[in-house]
Amino acid sequence: MITATKPMLSKKPRKDSLRELVETVVFVVVLVLVLKLFVVEAFVIPTGSMAETLLGYHKKVECEQCGFKFPLNASEEVEGRKGIKLPIIGYHCPNCDFPGRLKLNEFDSGAGKYYRTELDATSGDRVLVHKFMSIANRGSVVVFKYPSDPQVDHVAQNYIKRLVGVGDETIATHRGKLFLHKTLKYPADEYPMPENPKDLWNRRYSFQSAPNAMAAFEQAQKLSFPEGVDGFELIRKPDDQLLAMKRIVYDNDFHAQDLIKLGVPPRWKSSGEGWGAAETDQKSYSHTGTERGFLKYSHLALKTKTLRDNFTGKSTRVRDLELPLKPTFITNFMGYNAGVPGAFTSSNDGAENADDNDHWVSDLSVECKVNIADPAASVILDLGRGPSRFQAQFANGTVKLVRTGANGKEMTTRPTPMTKAGIYDLRFANVDCRLRVWVDDKAIDFGQESEYPFDSSSTTFEEGDKRKEGWTTANDIKEPAAIEVQGNVTVSKIVLYRDTYYTHPENKEAEFETFYVQPGHFLCFGDNSAQSHDGRGWGLVPERLMLGRAVFTFFPWSRIGFIR
């Protein structure tokens, strides 16, 4: 006989809140340390060498004439240079070229008056660096310890740049572009190695502009850099990197009010038949009828001057206009670099602080929104480059790529989503000798049919082309970009961009330079080439000093996203 017994109730242990809190804190701390040591680590961008892909200390400026908002380098104000900190009190708008001044507040310290800008500097982007993700992919944004001084006063000297070359490659820069030779050799009797292998990072061992590399480049140049041949070939950016490295030329939604009052014509100007009165704001353009209408862009040259400034805020930076304005070619000027430090006393055009900023940039992209009322309407986006023009012709649900000029031909055709009336966002880029098209931010795949050879072997140049860069008045000055429409179409939200341009800081007049990447090393450049201290100056980065790949910007909120 089994006798049932009353079950015993176990006592519930008393919850120790303090112990749980301590355990939780310890767990979180340990987890963060493990992640930091072995997986990811957070970094703050201090300088502007990767601008505007990644921003260092900067001011968020709004141009007082056109209203365009852009970042302005403030590293000199926050960190200073050689122990001297100067407030950034002026700017040069990258959109309308206005030489603006930031508002100053006056203070009395008792010993005298001093001035400070109302607009405070913002700290740099916060990024996450993945320590195990492959960094050997060309185009990756990487973080590493500075090879010359990895640590100063027990503080790590961490740099962030874009990886452009890996071990045993030779990289060349020419007309702002990158070129690659995979098999070029450097005989030991001509190119001696260091006694200590740890010194291979030094610039002298990247054999900059070595005779054999220069000769190989000149040979490839004569053949227009053929692919699949043992020689230099053009490096073409993938689409996501192209979008990350595009820089503003002109946003047509932001017009300078002072120029409007002076009667200066707009940069995008309509011609041909069919344009209506809807274009009075010069931001949108409505076309009707079967006749062809054109919108043509001119990059108008605007000069500025600064009156004497004793840092009281009373002087004025003004446009020095010579009407009518003359168009010029598009340059690698960046407003981010053109901050004006305080206490300057001489004439300054606001752009002199932007080093090496007057090179012709041939690679452009144009974006716009089109409202197509008639499916039979056509839209053509047109970009000039040297002796040729390149077009993306949208019609009947397809896009056709066409090159005009001496080497003109129809390159290829692909279907698009533009099969009916509606509103579409279009983007057309001619970058790295590859034509690219996006419809509603989705890329059209052309394969290699949209590529063409890079030809810089010409021996004839226009009279004003002192650097022999290869621009032409017809295609690069009078009309670097155009939009052609037929039918009932409204065009708006027009923005013109240029590609990032690599300069030669050690030899600004060089036509091209070459760099050998030693095995076990990497060559890294900053996106803000005109003001980047990088591999062009010091040399290479040893693999042992690589910390990882920058993958994500997590602050500020407005810039959150994956790094391309």
Quote the pLDDT of residue 347. Answer: 37
Quote the pLDDT of residue 422. Answer: 95
38 has pLDDT over 60: no
Quote the pLDDT of residue 351. Answer: 41
Quote the pLDDT of residue 10. Answer: 46
| Model pLDDT for residues 10-37, shown as the tens digit of each residue | 444 555 667 666 656 555 555 455 455 5
Largest separation between any pair of C-alpha atoms in the chain: 118
Please report, in angstroms and rounded to a whole number, the separation of the first and last CA atoms in the chain: 79
Quote the pLDDT of residue 280. Answer: 57
- Coil, helix or strand at residue 133: coil
Q: Choose the most confident range, by mean pLDDT, from 39-48, 422-431, 548-557.
A: 422-431
User: What pTM value is reported for the model?
Assistant: 0.89
* Mean pLDDT, residues 307-312: 48
* Mean pLDDT, residues 91-103: 88
| Phi, psi torsion values for 339, nearest 5 degrees | -70, 145
- 3-class secondary structure for 374-427? CCCCEEEEEEEECCEEEEEEEECCEEEEEEECCCCEEEEEEECCCCCCEEEEEE
Confidence of residue 486 (pLDDT cuts 50, 70, 90): very high
| Model pLDDT for residues 198-226, shown as the tens digit of each residue | 999 999 999 999 999 999 999 999 999 99
Q: Could you give the domains of the chain?
A: 28-264+300-363+499-564 (no CATH), 265-299+364-451+471-498 (2.60.120.560)
| Model pLDDT for residues 500-549, shown as the tens digit of each residue | 999 988 787 889 999 999 999 999 999 999 999 999 999 999 999 999 99
Rounded Cα distance, 160 and 142, in Å: 6
Rounded Cα distance, 157 and 529, in Å: 20
| Phi, psi torsion values for 309, nearest 5 degrees | -125, 125
* Mean pLDDT, residues 264-281: 81
* Mean pLDDT, residues 397-402: 97
Confidence of residue 346 (pLDDT cuts 50, 70, 90): very low
Signed CA dihedral, 502, 506, 511, 512: sign only? negative
Quote the pLDDT of residue 563. Answer: 94
118 has pLDDT over 80: no
Confidence of residue 172 (pLDDT cuts 50, 70, 90): very high
Residue type, 550: A
Confidence of residue 136 (pLDDT cuts 50, 70, 90): confident
Quote the pLDDT of residue 4. Answer: 42
Residue type, 162: R
2 has pLDDT over 50: no
Q: How far is CA 337 from the centre of its chain?
A: 12
222 Ramachandran zone, left/alpha/beta (phi>0; psi -120 to 50): alpha
Query: Would you call the peptide bond into 324 cis, given omega within 30 degrees of 0 as the criterion?
Result: yes
- Coil, helix or strand at residue 62: strand
Rounded Cα distance, 177 and 225, in Å: 12
The whole-chain average pLDDT of the chain stands at: 86
Strand partners, 280: none
CA distances from 314 to 66, 116, 305, 344, 346 (A): 22, 14, 15, 13, 15
Is-contact 244 551, C-beta < 8 A? no
Signed CA dihedral, 149, 150, 156, 162: sign only? positive
Query: Would you call the peptide bond into 64 cis, given omega within 30 degrees of 0 as the criterion?
Result: no
Quote the pLDDT of residue 343. Answer: 52
| Pair of tokens at residue 413 | 């055709």
Is-contact 426 379, C-beta < 8 A? yes
What is the number of helices (H) and of strands (E) in the chain? 5, 36
457 has pLDDT over 60: yes
* DSSP codes, 312-345: SS-S-EEE---SSPPB---B---GGG--EETT--
353 has pLDDT over 70: no
Quote the pLDDT of residue 282. Answer: 83
3-state helix, strand, coil in the chain (%, to 5): 15, 35, 50
Q: Tell me which residue has tokens 């000297």.
A: 157
460 has pLDDT over 90: no
* Mean pLDDT, residues 321-336: 89
- Higher pLDDT residue, 135 or 145? 145
